[in-house]
Structure 1
């Protein structure tokens, strides 16, 4: 459905208030280039059209989601908010249906991520504060408490992570957003400057080649498919993201698939990349 301009603004209002917990006229001013008067007028119009959704909190100088708030213009999937916040997708909506082409998009099921998790993470990230979190990894499903300093959100292709300094591990970790439990608790400003994030600051190149077990015609097909040069595909990436990129390319580095047609690609510079892999 083509969204009208008021609906685009309603979408942004709900996106901000749901995931950040507070909406002000400044949000609309910055995103849509409105005057403060027009931004306030739009918020008041939303309140009239969607009664009971928001309420004004004088102490926080903004509108907050009401206890019975139910999104009407957003999906409630955290990826929608993070894609907007990090600028990874365009948000201008087409006005002429004649420009649309038939297409289909495979949409995986949304991860279970609560706004009560995201709100303190976003605040701590912006303020460089520490948080106590309850996190359950697959390797330790019993969960454990830890204190972290959020650094950035990272989209690995399949899901969103929070890259953070973990005081318990004394290192940087990628924490899957859907594995946080409860509400992160503020622990105040970070106590000392964090050490450099070597894996994030280091750029490496993954060199991929067709699986040599394939026949020449199959290898040539892959060379053409990926636009390889000299039979190789060179993919620069941050070292911290190397494993995720290999996963997205379906390149196994632990064992070859018994079927070379299923394996398709191999990592040619495994020894060079290995120190950075999980």
Structure 2
């Protein structure tokens, strides 16, 4: 039924669904004010929602509002990660009640903010499959000009990178966005410089994460944190991103789980899966054997 509705109708029904899920209640006037519809149109939306999910809401005539029932099941998918980001940053996509009320969700403070104009040039180049001349400052060699064919902007959990083909080293590399001071679109990219040739990006490797055998007393807590099944969290990650993930979550990558400290709550059980993978210098304790 939802697929047959107009975009505007789905938007209003999703708003009702969101309010019931996160606020536990909704006034008819909430919908009318948010979408600037008439009383009759608002009533039709609530009737339509009740037709789709009659078990989800009950109307209290004395309080003149709808309440979530004990048998409530969301009609729309509200992705946990996206919803938390939206709530924390007060960003609405029109399908929710964000902005109507101050939700008690906070996001961590960001220590670095990339230049929006640099981002814009990079995105343009990606869409047009063109190269970009950038002025880049690295920790090892300082400032230099490099010609890069970018294909993806990546959040590694701590900062933003752009991944692309570096014509200087003739390899695919990651460049920290905040270290790019200039970006100018140049010529078209060659066939070997496109994302299709970035094998590290397209290759997926399985990582089996388990509770650290020496640093954790109550392993059940860690299993709950990561939604482990039978004590194991198995995830497939891009080879180019494996090092970032392992560092971000302080995953002990030693062969015998020998890293000590409360920050190491996870251990990589199948470290052999990292063979022939670059960018692992940042993976905690990983050494090529």
Write the distance in 2 (CA, Å) between the matches of 1:96 and 1:130: 40
Residue 97 of structure 1: CA displacement?
A: 3.1
Write the distance in 2 (CA, Å) between the matches of 1:253 and 1:277: 14
Instruction: Say if 1:202 and 1:239, in contact at 8 Å, map to a contact too.
Output: yes
Q: In structure 1, what is the equivalent of residue 265 of structure 2?
A: 264
Residue 150 of structure 1: CA displacement?
A: 1.3
Residue 167 of structure 1: CA displacement?
A: 0.9
Q: In structure 1, what is the equivalent of residue 198 of structure 2?
A: 197
Within 5 Å, give how 1:91-240 maps onto structure 2: 91-92=93-94, 94=97, 97=100, 101-111=103-113, 113-140=114-141, 142-181=142-181, 183-194=182-193, 196-214=197-215, 217-240=217-240
Residue 95 of structure 1: CA displacement?
A: 6.4
Write the distance in 2 (CA, Å) between the matches of 1:239 and 1:125: 21
**4+ long deviations beyond 4 Å:** none
Residue 119 of structure 1: CA displacement?
A: 3.1
Q: In structure 2, what is the equivalent of residue 251 of structure 1?
A: 251
Residue 90 of structure 1: CA displacement?
A: 5.8
Write the distance in 2 (CA, Å) between the matches of 1:232 and 1:191: 42
Task: Label 1:103 to 1:170 Cα distance change in 2 as closer, same or farther (>3 A).
Answer: same
Structure 2 length normalisation: TM-score?
Answer: 0.57
Residue 154 of structure 1: CA displacement?
A: 1.2
Write the distance in 1 (CA, Å) between the matches of 2:188 and 2:122: 13
The DSSP-based 3-state class of the residue aligned with 1:262 is coil
The DSSP-based 3-state class of the residue aligned with 2:218 is helix
Instruction: Say if 2:215 and 2:264, in contact at 8 Å, map to a contact too.
Output: no
Task: Label 1:107 to 1:164 Cα distance change in 2 as closer, same or farther (>3 A).
Answer: same
Instruction: Say if 1:256 and 1:263, in contact at 8 Å, map to a contact too.
Output: no
Q: Deviations over 1:14-57 (max 9, x none)?
A: xxxxxxxxxxxxxxxxxxxxxxxxxxxxxxxxxxxxxxxxxxxx
Residue 128 of structure 1: CA displacement?
A: 1.0
- Of stretches 248-257 and 149-158 in structure 1, the one that deviates more from structure 2 is 248-257
Residue 130 of structure 1: CA displacement?
A: 1.3
Question: What is the number of residues matched between the two proteins?
Answer: 186
Residue 228 of structure 1: CA displacement?
A: 1.6
Point out the structure with max Rg over C-alpha: 2
The DSSP-based 3-state class of the residue aligned with 2:251 is coil
Write the distance in 2 (CA, Å) between the matches of 1:159 and 1:276: 21
Write the distance in 2 (CA, Å) between the matches of 1:274 and 1:213: 25
Write the distance in 2 (CA, Å) between the matches of 1:170 and 1:187: 17
Q: In structure 2, what is the equivalent of residue 48 of structure 1?
A: none
Write the distance in 2 (CA, Å) between the matches of 1:110 and 1:158: 9
Q: Deviations over 1:78-126 (max 9, x none)?
A: xxxxx99xxxx8633636735x532222222332x32342232222112
Residue 175 of structure 1: CA displacement?
A: 0.8
Instruction: Say if 1:200 and 1:238, in contact at 8 Å, map to a contact too.
Output: yes
Gaps of at least 5 residues in structure 1 are 1-82
Write the distance in 1 (CA, Å) between the matches of 2:159 and 2:120: 18
Structure 1 length normalisation: TM-score?
Answer: 0.59
